[in-house]
Amino acid sequence: MKILAVDLGKVRTGLAVCDPQECLASPWKVIVQRRLEQLADEVTHEAHQTQAEMFVIGLPKNMDGSEGESAQNARSFARLLEEKSGLPVAMWDERGTTMTAHQYLNVTDTRGKKRKAVVDAVAAVIILQEFLDYRKNHPNP
């Protein structure tokens, strides 16, 4: 099944998509949008474009596992997206994904405006790939 991952940001939201066999996550795009209603419409449109059948939303937990304002915003966005799209939504702990994305971009020497433009999509790739790996090792009964 094709899955679209969302790394929700206050300004930029990264998207990543996987192949139908759920093997490989790839960056899709970054959406610049502050209003959640509009963002949900745009993400729903991208789900149709990619033929995604499900969403994975990054859940930004605190390092101690607790949930703060950002996590609550992600949960609210997930509910809104599920309502607008009619597709199922899973939440995935995204602790450390943005830091890992920056490390990957350091390795590729991606800097400046280009880095700012892609870091959220790279973070979405990490979220999705972790989710895919988990599903592969923990199949549903």
Residue 74 neighbours by CB under 8 Å, 6+ apart: 8, 57, 58, 59, 60, 91
Domain 3-137 -> CATH class: alpha beta
pLDDT digits (tens), the chain, 141 positions? 999 999 998 899 999 999 999 999 999 999 999 999 999 999 999 999 999 999 999 998 888 888 888 899 999 999 999 999 999 999 998 876 666 665 656 565 556 666 566 677 888 998 999 999 999 988 774
DSSP structure class, residue 103:
H
Q: Where are the domains of the chain?
A: 3-137
> What is the pLDDT at residue 137?
86
Provide the pLDDT for residue 74. 94
Beta-carbon count within 10 A of 80 CB? 18
